[in-house]
Amino acid sequence: MTYIPNTDADRRAMMAAIGIESVEALLTVIPEDVRLDAPLDLPPALSELELHDAMGEMADRNASADRMASFVGGGMYDHFVPSAVGHLAGRSEYLTSYTPYQPEVSQGTLQGIYEFQTMICELTGLDVANASMYDGASATAEAALLARSATRRNRVLLAGGLHPHYVETVYTYAHGPGIEVETLPCAGGALDPDRLASALSEDTACVIVQHPNFFGCLESMGDLERVVHAAGALLVMAVDPISLGVIESPGAYGADIAVGEGQSMGNHVSYGGPALGFFAARDRFVRRMPGRIAGQTVDQENRRGFVLTLQAREQHIRRDKATSNICTSQQLNALMATIYLSLIGKEGLRQVAELCLHKSHYAAERIADLPGYALAFDRPFFKEFVVQTPAPPGEIVTRLAEERLLAGIDLRRFPSLELENGLLIAVTERRTRAQIDRLVEALGRYS
């Protein structure tokens, strides 16, 4: 039991025991120029009713994506989330412990995990998927670790069109084990297969390519796959799951591992998180996959049931035998993704993807016709594209936010991309023609 002094005598006794004369003596490690030397300037306490109203007034100052037309992408997208997703995800069948250690009381959670894995396999065209990762960035870095373990090679190549956050995470993961990482430039918006071929070596474990990439451009996956496998390396594809409604799956392209961010499947943007990573691979890598896998079995009475299996993470087995130290899954987010995919189905996913494709191309054509604007890359794209702006993109984004338009992402935030005046614009199925036209009109004032 923790002892809490509640009288002056108690406090004096404790200070004497540790050899100090005042509580302030404990604060000497804090530089004096940043130390508070007066009471906190706090307003009087509020009643619950007053606090509720005050918080409501503060919340109204925020401009949410639901109240604005959002053209922001870059990995987190404003897709429509059916109301049934939230209602079903809150059912009591899924309200089990964070980790389903006892399968007999966690069948709801375990079945949700199993169904999620199944749907990820169907989406990616690969053999096995795990119980989800923290986010797309950590899933990508875990793929690099798996490739190194499976090939016993120590070099990882990243396509320049890979999301900058994914790139940074791979470099961070690679630092400890000493994996050599190199990022290849993608002049023209995509990785040149010949440039890749010249960079490959006998020590290359894998090549990680995002398709569609961070700029929304489609990579030359057929050519890249041939080059990668000819060198004996593994091909890792980072994908947008919505794009798989109209684009070939990683499995069809010959990828060995597929990773990505699943937020767009039934999860709100929510200030940029929480996110949901997915990870799928060929069957031969199943025992090297990070995290855990839920499997289907039968009980003593031959009834269908679900259990955790292949838990090759350090929480379950000896640390030196673990394939990864990732210790959780984003199960609530994965459940929402599972419900979303179940609701819209294969045809629904295709329709969402087609709407994103057509609306983004309509927006790109109209913006490219504006004086001073131009598409940064002459390549096929999906849902997202980069425009060169006549004025600083950060200034445009700030000004248009005042008009309830979230215009996109100023790519100068990512100096490594070396894109001057680049504005990344995403158009999902939620954007209407009127909203797109309003964006075009507003951008035109900066021509």
Higher pLDDT, 196 or 26: 196
Stated as kind and residue range, the H or E segment containing 184 is: strand 180-184
Average pLDDT over all residues of the chain: 91
Domains and CATH numbers, the chain: 69-79+345-444 (3.90.1150.10), 83-340 (3.40.640.10)
Q: What values do phi and psi take at 53, rounded to 5? A: -70, -40
Mean pLDDT of 45-55: 94
Cβ burial of 176 (10 Å; 0-12, 13-18, 19+) is: exposed
The pairing of beta strand 405-406 with beta strand 69-70: parallel
Give the mean pLDDT of 141-147: 97
CB 365 within 8 A of CB 310: no
Mean pLDDT of 28-50: 88
User: Which pLDDT band, with edges at 50, 70 and 90, does 419 fall under?
Assistant: confident
Determine contact, residues 228/234, Cβ cutoff 8 Å: yes
Q: Which stretch of 98-107, 123-132, 199-208, 409-418 has the lowest confidence by average pLDDT? A: 98-107
The structure tokens listed for 130 are 């795990």
Condensed to tens digits (0 to 9), the pLDDT of residues 67-112 reads 899 999 999 999 999 999 999 998 887 776 567 777 777 888 889 8
Predicted TM-score (pTM) of the model is 0.87
List, for residues 423-439, the tens digit of each pLDDT value: 999 999 999 999 999 99
Are 396 and 424 in contact, with CB atoms under 8 Å apart? Answer: no
Q: Which two tokens stand for residue 197?
A: 């071929």
Burial (CB < 10 A; 0-12, 13-18, 19+), residue 440, is middle
Residue the block writes with tokens 């006892």 = 102
Instruction: Single out the residue of 277, 244, 220 nearest to residue 382, CA to CA.
Output: 244
pLDDT digits (tens, 9 = 90+) for 233-261: 999 999 999 999 999 999 999 999 999 99
Contact yes or no for 147/234 (Cβ under 8 A) = yes
Pairwise CA distance, residues 241 & 262, whole Å: 7
Structure-block tokens of residue 241: 């799951």
pLDDT at residue 420, rounded to an integer? 85
The three-class DSSP label of residue 23 is: helix
Beta bridge partners of 409: 424
Rg (CA), the chain: 26
| 225, 230, 231, 234 alpha-carbon torsion, rounded to 10° | 40
Q: Locate tokens 């900058």: which residue?
A: 164
**How far apart are the C-alpha atoms of 324 and 289, rounded to whole Å?**
8
For residues 280-297, give the mean pLDDT. Answer: 92
**Could you tell me the pLDDT band of residue 1, with boundaries at 50, 70 and 90?**
very low
Residue 107 tokens, joined:
């069948």
Alpha-carbon span 374 to 377, nearest angstrom: 9
